[in-house]
Structure 1
Amino acid sequence: MDDYYSMAFGSCEVRTHALNLEALGLPRRDLAHLEEPFLPEEVEKVIKSMPPDKALGPDGFTGRFYAVCWHIIRDDFMAAMSCFYDGDVRGMAAINKSLVTLLPKKDGALDVGDFRPTNLVHGAVKIFEKFSGRSSSRSWNSLVLDHGGELGGCYPGFDGKPATSSRAPKSRGQNSAFPSKPNSFPHSHSPTPHSSLQPAMTDDPAAAGPGREVPPPPPARQPRPLSVVSALPFWFYLTAAVSLLALVLPHHLSPHASPPLPPLLRRHLSDGRLLKLHPGPDLFAVTSRPAAHSAAHHHPVLVLPGLAAGSFSFRRLLSSLSSRGLVAAAVDLPGQGLSPPPAAPPARTNPLREIMDRGIFHAFEHLVETGEVPFQETAHEPPHSFYAANEAAAAVARAVDALGLAPVHLVLHDSALAAGAAFVSANPAAVQSVSLIDATATLPAFPAAVLGVPVLGGLALRVPALFKGLMRLSCARGVDAEEADAHRAAMRGQGKRGAVFEAWKAMNHSFDLTEWRSSSEEVKRLPMMVLWSGSWSDMWIDEGKKVTKALPDAKFIYHYGGRWPQVDAYEEISKLIADFVTMLPTTATEHRSKNMDQSSGESVDAHSDHPVS
């Protein structure tokens, strides 16, 4: 059988001439469409054009099955086609098999020549081959028609005219202009450098014939210019390599032990405590009390810091408020500042991993064996995030109860606006007034989106100069290197970078100040003050005007600090807050004042306090 088909296919003969394609000057064609991704509509056309009832392949499916069940198998099949396109051939051996059989050409076939071989392949492979052939067939006509004219000058009769050269005698019985063998093409014994038909090279001088010189080698082929498509794999692997090095090398070069905390952050950590709340998450709180008893004890101030600011940035403001006779406290929102990141929710099942483990045709095999579709209905659970405004407000309410500060004068900074507003709406009796310090629900000062970039986010937290420049550009121009390094150390804790990024993603961009202010009578009656930076930028001043329009009854004051005025204008902010809260009528009863005095030196029994590790 092997000898039969070897003779049928023929053998290669030695040619004395070869084509110099560079000298032909053939135009280049744009074939970028051959590398376009597969589209479901095009694949469906190929499937519908297949014969429906031809012989089965090893998978046992005919073309009719793919055409009729296309709406069921479309997603799984396109996933397999995408793997073919991306070059991912893992598991290809399972379907890259075929059945070879001989079909008789006539009745009573006995010899090998009386049979026609046929190859039966899997349906998926057959569709992929047909689709590839259909995609490339679009360019055949243009390539053949366009290049036919150029080849006509090289081969007599290629352009449809009979050959006129006397050096190309036709063989007996040859009526076509095409020679029957390669060595019967017309040739010149002294080809010029610009000739498109040159003698073929050979290493054997005798093969060139007696009296003939071995022709010189053709000119070196010029390298093809790189296209955008061919450069994409290089940039992909380069980016992957740089990302891997940026993530792996710092862990190997740095010591395994955690670096010590900066002195400023360590001192602030010792001044506060971690509230173990039930239910969680746990929150870090710091309280600054005046040295002597005063009537201002009836005006406890609670600060909720904004995104990435943390209570650490308010340490000097809290101290300044306590020096004015006020009880001042700050609570870090979940995952912010020194509060530990909340526990991550259970991971969802990855459909791609399930397909890779069980195979893309698992559903078909189950359908053939049992007659049922393996469909598993899962209950849809609403998204739950401790970074959402309502969840953060509930945690703040539990922290206020643990600290024994209610009712408080609430101070909301930056992105803490939505969480603080939710706390006020749910606990109006626990709030005496509300002060906004450059508060916003959509434009936080710290660019947390940078932390979500794989390489740039890690680089910003590892390079002190880069992090300091980022804070000066976005938060406060007066921040020094020591304070910036403390903020950087706080965000380098385990899971803190992801917590800041998740809190940024969970911001309520649909929050409306006007709607919240008019949501209830209790909220309407609350005294409000707005402190806004008048020196940061014109765009930020315009944002302040929008807040003024939304809160026409609020007291509006411009300050000289930045987006984080607690860093570079804390004395000014402290005086404005102290003047505002002390001018309000006292709503705390003598009983609450007495309870607050008793709890000043005691720890909360129902909530154990531990320093943050």
Structure 2
Amino acid sequence: MVIITEEEDNQKRDPKPSSSTKPTHRSKQSKPTPSSPSPTPTPPPSKPPQEVQSPFAFWFYFTITVSIITFFFISFSSLSPQDPKSWFLSLPTSLRQFYSKGRTIKVQTHPDQSAFEVFTAEKGVTESEKVIIVHGLGLSSYSFRKVIEALGSRGVHVVAFDLPGNGFSDKSTVEIGENPGGLLGRFSFVVSEIQEKGLFWAFDEIVATGQVPFEEIEARASKRKVVKPIELGPEEVGKVLGQVIETMGLAPVHLVLHDSALGMVSNWVLENVQSVRSVTLIDTGAKSAGALPLWVLEVPLVRELVLGFSYAHALLIKMSCSSGVGSVDLNAHRVLLKGRDGTKAIVGMGKKLNRSFDIAEWGGSDGLKGVPMQLLWSEHWSKEWSEEGRRIANALPKANFVTHSGGRWPQEDAADEVAGHIANFVTSLPATVRKVAEEPIPEHIQTLLDEAEQTGHGHLHGHAGHEEHSHGHVHGAGAGYPDPYGLGHGHGW
């Protein structure tokens, strides 16, 4: 019996198929011949054996990551010393000399918050007209040191103070913080814990107890002391101004408001017109924003670049504020600006300014109708700024409009000119009449004085209080009060 097989025409005679050609397909009736063995199926590729990761690999990489992050945090925090004493000793000589001539006073904006210190600089005869200078954000009383000297030499009693968060005034407060919120807050607290307790503290706790010490971390977070920047709004700044005037006995006072200061104290002026003798505005725009762009202090990389390099800071000041500031003064301004993390306070205060402030409405209010005003404006800074000055002058038609040759910070490059305009304006007004309020004599002291006058004895034995017993000697009837009141020639034991 003969078996006939059919083959395709394109089948090759070579039994070994080429790698580049497809294998031939046989028909259903064909059967393999004994001489041609069937192809062996290719086995599937074997899977590589899975590697078992060690549990210590995670902790190794975690430790390395935390170490690097901690190193950078420590490096950045060491750029500016946090200790006030070491920061003060690192200041230039001009700043330390200026600070030694001033004094600090305590102010408080809220009853439930702690008081903070405000630095003040003073010059001139105390019996003359009182002038107080309020600087804009990012500045300080040091920037007005030349104006202070020039006004004092012109017979004007001038006071300049640093707004909280600026200059030598307090820039932050220490409070009992709450649990840190958000991922960044918790991460920052963990980094602070690592800095305090060591890098392997949490790892040792995990090895000892078998769990992360969340409860201890939460308990420490609820009791930790948090340093918060002083970010005051216009209402709080007005309270600070009022307390400075009251503490130093300046009312009624001639106000000198520079740059963004008007936006911070405009409401206080309306509410305390009886304490304001006159108002002088120096390059104060219709909007409350000042000459210094605060966004530069808010963006991290830009802030470090501007405050870390004197050339970048000098370029910023010359482009936006004033072109006549010397290198020594520029460096002093940069040091004060970045010292003790004051940029956060300045940026926070800038965000709270009233952007919808209307200077025409403010100047035309009924309360300011009898208050003399003067407007000092830069004449050559830019065409746009000169046009802004004309708009402000039109919005304040009763104000005396005077130009100067300086920039938007004229106290740096035109100090004598600015001081001359302020002194001429203040002295041209009628002299301020100040009433000296006499301290009333307490009833029990008056009784002792009356008895001494009737008996003619100059020796008094008076009880100054329920807690102490004091003896005072008064030479002559009615010559003065006993020593606890600071008058007379008495002495007590």
Superposition TM-score, scaled by structure 1 size: 0.50
Query: 1:320-339 maps to which residues of 2 (within 5 A)?
Result: 320-339=150-169
Residues 315, 352 of structure 1: alpha-carbon distance in 2 compared, 3 angstrom cutoff: closer
Runs of 5+ unmatched residues, structure 1: 1-14, 19-164, 175-181, 185-241, 357-383, 594-604, 606-613
Residues 253, 589 of structure 1: alpha-carbon distance in 2 compared, 3 angstrom cutoff: closer
Q: Does 1:304 align with 2:105?
A: no
> Which position in structure 1 is the counterpart of 2:119?
284
Query: 1:39-118 maps to which residues of 2 (within 5 A)?
Result: none
Deviation at 1:503, TM superposition (A): 2.0
Deviation at 1:491, TM superposition (A): 1.7
* Deviations 1:192-249, CA, capped at 9 Å, x for gaps: xxxxxxxxxxxxxxxxxxxxxxxxxxxxxxxxxxxxxxxxxxxxxxxxxx99998654
> Which position in structure 2 is the counterpart of 1:96?
none
> Which position in structure 1 is the counterpart of 2:473?
none
Residues 575, 309 of structure 1: alpha-carbon distance in 2 compared, 3 angstrom cutoff: same
> Which position in structure 2 is the counterpart of 1:263?
93
Query: 1:110-129 maps to which residues of 2 (within 5 A)?
Result: none
What amino acid is aligned across from residue 475 of structure 1 in structure 2?
C
Residues 515, 355 of structure 1: alpha-carbon distance in 2 compared, 3 angstrom cutoff: same
- For the residue of structure 1 that corresponds to 2:122, the secondary structure is strand
Q: For the residues of structure 2 that align with 1:565 and 1:413, how far apart are their CA atoms?
A: 10
Query: 1:66-465 maps to which residues of 2 (within 5 A)?
Result: 169-172=24-27, 249=75, 258=87, 260-279=90-109, 280-290=115-125, 297-343=127-173, 350=181, 386-440=231-285, 441-465=287-311
- For the residue of structure 2 that corresponds to 1:531, the secondary structure is strand
What amino acid is aligned across from residue 352 of structure 2 in structure 1?
A
What amino acid is aligned across from residue 449 of structure 1 in structure 2?
W
* Deviations 1:16-52, CA, capped at 9 Å, x for gaps: 859xxxxxxxxxxxxxxxxxxxxxxxxxxxxxxxxxx
Q: For the residues of structure 2 that align with 1:592 and 1:388, how far apart are their CA atoms?
A: 33
Q: For the residues of structure 2 that align with 1:415 and 1:268, how far apart are their CA atoms?
A: 24
Give the conservation status (yes or no) of the 8 Å contact 1:393–1:422. yes
- For the residue of structure 2 that corresponds to 1:325, the secondary structure is coil
Deviation at 1:412, TM superposition (A): 0.2
Residues 388, 168 of structure 1: alpha-carbon distance in 2 compared, 3 angstrom cutoff: same
- For the residue of structure 2 that corresponds to 1:525, the secondary structure is coil
* Deviations 1:418-461, CA, capped at 9 Å, x for gaps: 12312211211110000000013433111221111112212221
Deviation at 1:324, TM superposition (A): 0.6
Deviation at 1:252, TM superposition (A): 6.0
Deviation at 1:465, TM superposition (A): 2.1
> Which position in structure 2 is the counterpart of 1:484?
330
Give the conservation status (yes or no) of the 8 Å contact 1:243–1:455. no
Deviation at 1:272, TM superposition (A): 1.1
What amino acid is aligned across from residue 588 of structure 1 in structure 2?
V
Match of 1:570 among 415, 422, 429: 415
Residues 17, 446 of structure 1: alpha-carbon distance in 2 compared, 3 angstrom cutoff: farther
Give the conservation status (yes or no) of the 8 Å contact 2:119–2:169. yes
Deviation at 1:172, TM superposition (A): 4.2
Runs of 5+ unmatched residues, structure 2: 1-16, 30-38, 42-67, 110-114, 188-228, 439-485, 487-493
Give the conservation status (yes or no) of the 8 Å contact 1:281–1:395. no
Q: For the residues of structure 1 that align with 2:161 and 2:264, how far apart are their CA atoms?
A: 12
Give the conservation status (yes or no) of the 8 Å contact 2:289–2:355. no
What amino acid is aligned across from residue 271 of structure 1 in structure 2?
K
Q: For the residues of structure 2 that align with 1:437 and 1:592, how far apart are their CA atoms?
A: 34
> Which position in structure 1 is the counterpart of 2:354?
508
Give the conservation status (yes or no) of the 8 Å contact 2:147–2:415. yes
Q: For the residues of structure 1 that align with 2:18 and 2:174, how far apart are their CA atoms?
A: 74
What amino acid is aligned across from residue 138 of structure 2 in structure 1?
A
Q: For the residues of structure 2 that align with 1:312 and 1:252, how far apart are their CA atoms?
A: 26
Residues 337, 173 of structure 1: alpha-carbon distance in 2 compared, 3 angstrom cutoff: farther
Residues 388, 183 of structure 1: alpha-carbon distance in 2 compared, 3 angstrom cutoff: farther
Q: For the residues of structure 2 that align with 1:278 and 1:562, how far apart are their CA atoms?
A: 34
What amino acid is aligned across from residue 264 of structure 1 in structure 2?
S
Residues 463, 591 of structure 1: alpha-carbon distance in 2 compared, 3 angstrom cutoff: same
- For the residue of structure 1 that corresponds to 2:369, the secondary structure is helix
What amino acid is aligned across from residue 319 of structure 2 in structure 1?
L
> Which position in structure 1 is the counterpart of 2:65?
none
Q: For the residues of structure 1 that align with 2:328 and 2:18, how far apart are their CA atoms?
A: 81
Give the conservation status (yes or no) of the 8 Å contact 1:386–1:392. no
- For the residue of structure 2 that corresponds to 1:535, the secondary structure is coil
Q: For the residues of structure 2 that align with 1:498 and 1:582, how far apart are their CA atoms?
A: 39
Residues 252, 336 of structure 1: alpha-carbon distance in 2 compared, 3 angstrom cutoff: closer
Q: Does 1:473 align with 2:319?
A: yes
Give the conservation status (yes or no) of the 8 Å contact 1:246–1:455. no
Deviation at 1:517, TM superposition (A): 2.0
Residues 253, 442 of structure 1: alpha-carbon distance in 2 compared, 3 angstrom cutoff: closer
Q: Percent same amino acid among aligned pairs?
A: 35
Residues 532, 355 of structure 1: alpha-carbon distance in 2 compared, 3 angstrom cutoff: closer
Residues 168, 542 of structure 1: alpha-carbon distance in 2 compared, 3 angstrom cutoff: same
Deviation at 1:590, TM superposition (A): 4.8
Deviation at 1:322, TM superposition (A): 0.8
Match of 2:426 among 581, 585, 596: 581
Q: For the residues of structure 2 that align with 1:407 and 1:401, how far apart are their CA atoms?
A: 10
Q: For the residues of structure 1 that align with 2:351 and 2:369, how far apart are their CA atoms?
A: 29
What amino acid is aligned across from residue 284 of structure 1 in structure 2?
F
What amino acid is aligned across from residue 368 of structure 2 in structure 1?
V
Superposition TM-score, scaled by structure 2 size: 0.61
What amino acid is aligned across from residue 330 of structure 2 in structure 1?
A
Deviation at 1:549, TM superposition (A): 2.1
- For the residue of structure 1 that corresponds to 2:357, the secondary structure is coil
Give the conservation status (yes or no) of the 8 Å contact 1:306–1:413. yes
Give the conservation status (yes or no) of the 8 Å contact 1:532–1:544. yes
Residues 395, 355 of structure 1: alpha-carbon distance in 2 compared, 3 angstrom cutoff: closer
* Deviations 1:132-170, CA, capped at 9 Å, x for gaps: xxxxxxxxxxxxxxxxxxxxxxxxxxxxxxxxx9x6532
